[in-house]
Amino acid sequence: MLRSVLLPSLMMSALVVAVPPEPVAVTPQTSQPVVDCGNYCDNRDPALPPGSRRSVHQPGTSAPQRTGGPPSTGNAAPAAAAVICNKYCDGRDPALAPADRLTQTVTVGSRRISLHFDDADAMGWAAISATGQGDEVWLDRSFDAGVSWGSGSRLGNTSVPPGFGDWRTMMFNVDDWANFGVGLLRACGRPAGSSTIACTSWYRTTWNAGERRTAAATALMERYNLGNGLFDTTSWWNSANALTAIIDNIRLTGMNSYRYAIARTYNLNLPAWQGNFINDYNDDIAWWGLAWLAAYDLTGDSRYLNTARIGADHIFRYWDSVCGGGVWWSASRNYKNAITNSLYVQLNAALHNRIPGDTGYLQRARTGWTWFVNSKMINSANLVNDGLTTTTCANNNLTPWSYNQGVPLAALTELYRATGDTSLLTKARALADASTSSSFLNPGGILFDNGGGGDVPSFKGIYVRGLSTLNRALADRPYTTYLRRQADTAYTRDRSSADAYDQPWAGPFQRSDAARQHSAVDLMNAAG
């Protein structure tokens, strides 16, 4: 997981810093990739060769070099910003705005700095009041969720002329539609002769963020890397889930603005690893297979279906008789775990439901579920532990992570659709009742995975996605109240000014990344 050394999160509070009154040259700072370890590390299968271990970046690429500058709050001269033209071009007079939405006001000395939006035209401007001659006011614009703003620093920088008590910049676009730039703005100002700058928090217009589902999706797309087709600040398999969340959001809300990410991700990453989204981790392969099935459902493009089939066929090679069946987690064949095998059932059942006349994928799904339910990974509390001890084939009693509860629900729902066997929904309902009522999983009634690392922030989103899949298949929609409670709590207590979300949905918000954010998108999708 990457952390910026410049601005690690979008905090709700305003930024006030002291800088020298005259700009001097500085060397841009860059962040370095780190392995983030909680209950386990990102690279957690030492039996595989180093090149096969999980990595924040796909093979052949390096960590994206984030520069923060020249930030308006630093002491470097601002770079010239390219003019962006959407409905209107940068530099439009705020007097022409049909509406004025004030987002936040901060103070520096006796001056008040405020950020305003014209939501109809998707533009914003900064204003300063209670001013003195020579006071400065400007905008910053970021296209990477507030990590850096070097190409959008001090937009419209202007000084208050004599005789004016209020002053403002011109209007600037938040987004760059022609170049798929998903942006944020903040307002900054400095009193004349002072070394202190005050900035509002980062905000955006309601364009592509008119309600909480689309706002969360837009905040996630701020982290989409156009260069590699993945999501910055998270890993390979997490990016599959982030893309799935975006595809689900398009389907549920009808907002097609981010549809371009589907083909872009596919085209840029098809050759990665061993090709066709295959690496040495069978759960990674299954996550991408499910993402491409979601893409196929949305677009009807058969290449996505074919890639999912290739992945499922590859995973099938890792089914053997050890512990009576099941597929291995990785190419090292040293662990049979719950997530890989529940994904195996879901992926094969989903393929059957999309391939007319299929019998093979259905048989794999049936056999996979029979083995899973008899494997004893489901404990006496109807929660799914992490996997089996290979030497004894017994439940290893490791943490019942939330995603291990959610994927079986989606798998059983797909298998029910394939077979019409209502006993599968009965079993799914029993598992869902156990996980939604578990005080271990839901302290204080709000879902929480007690662990760190780069993987864990994705777990809750996967859980609610699976739960909502089951909920929609049940006539009485028994889990709607639970899902809405999670979403309402997160929206109220765990959200930044820019609609970014942290890992604990009960709050408070401290930082976000693409894994945390896709979980929030999954949650908002699930709750409606």
**Residue pLDDT, tens place only, 458-491:** 999 999 999 999 999 999 999 999 999 999 999 9
CB neighbours (10 Å) of residue 95? Answer: 7
> Given CA atoms 471, 476, 479, 483 in this order, what sign does their dihedral have?
positive
Question: What are 196's two structure tokens?
Answer: 């202190």
Q: Which residues pair with 108 in a beta bridge?
A: 111
The values of phi and psi at residue 71, to 5°, are -70, 150
Q: Which helix (H) or strand (E) element contains residue 186?
A: strand 184-190
The predicted pLDDT at position 48 comes to 44
Kindly give the confidence (pLDDT) of every residue in the chain, 528 residues in length, as a single tens digit, with 9 standing for 90 and above: 222 222 333 333 344 433 322 222 222 333 333 334 333 333 344 444 434 333 333 333 443 333 333 345 444 444 567 899 999 999 999 999 999 999 999 999 999 999 999 999 999 999 999 888 999 999 999 999 999 998 899 999 999 999 898 999 999 999 999 999 999 999 999 999 999 999 999 999 999 999 999 999 999 999 999 999 999 999 999 999 999 999 999 999 999 999 999 999 999 999 999 999 999 999 999 999 999 999 999 999 999 999 999 999 999 999 999 999 999 999 999 999 999 999 999 999 999 999 999 999 999 999 999 999 999 999 999 999 999 999 999 999 999 999 999 999 999 999 999 999 999 999 999 999 999 999 999 999 999 998 778 899 999 999 999 999 999 999 999 999 999 999 999 999 999 999 999 999 999 999 999 999 999 999 999 999
Question: What are 82's two structure tokens?
Answer: 């390219």
Question: What are 10's two structure tokens?
Answer: 């979008």
Helix, strand, coil share of the chain (percent; to 5): 40, 15, 45
The predicted pLDDT at position 81 comes to 73
CA distance between the termini of the chain:
30
Inter-residue contact 70 to 197 (CB < 8 Å): no
CB neighbours (10 Å) of residue 472? Answer: 12
Q: What number of helices (H) and strands (E) belong to the chain? A: 12, 14
CB neighbours (10 Å) of residue 49? Answer: 10
The predicted pLDDT at position 299 comes to 98
The predicted pLDDT at position 376 comes to 95
Task: Give the number of residues written for the chain.
Answer: 528
| Whole-angstrom distance, CA of residue 334 vs CA of residue 41 | 17
Inter-residue contact 125 to 165 (CB < 8 Å): no
The predicted pLDDT at position 79 comes to 53
The values of phi and psi at residue 489, to 5°, are -65, -45
Q: Which residues contact 227 (CB under 8 A, 6 or more apart)?
A: 64
The predicted pLDDT at position 394 comes to 98
Q: What is the pTM of this model?
A: 0.88
Q: DSSP per residue over 150-183, as a string? A: GGGTTEEEEEPPTT-SEEE--BEES-BGGGTB--
Q: DSSP per residue over 364-429, as a string? A: HHHHHHHHHHHTT-B-TTS-B-SBEETTTTEE------HHHHHHHHHHHHHHHHHH--HHHHHHHH
pLDDT in tens, 213-234: 999 999 999 999 999 999 999 9
Q: Which residues pair with 136 in a beta bridge?
A: 159, 190
Q: Which residues contact 461 (CB under 8 A, 6 or more apart)?
A: 241, 245, 518, 519, 520, 521, 522, 523
Inter-residue contact 93 to 86 (CB < 8 Å): no
Q: Which residues pair with 252 in a beta bridge?
A: none
Q: Which residues contact 426 (CB under 8 A, 6 or more apart)?
A: none
| Whole-angstrom distance, CA of residue 283 vs CA of residue 44 | 14
Cα 397 from chain centroid (whole Å):
29
Q: What value, to the nearest 5°, has the Cα angle with vertex 236 and ends 514 and 221?
A: 30
Locate all alpha helices (DSSP H) within 270-388, ordered by sequence. 282-299, 302-316, 338-352, 360-374
The predicted pLDDT at position 451 comes to 79
Phi-psi region of 309 (alpha: psi -120 to 50; beta: other; left: phi over 0): alpha
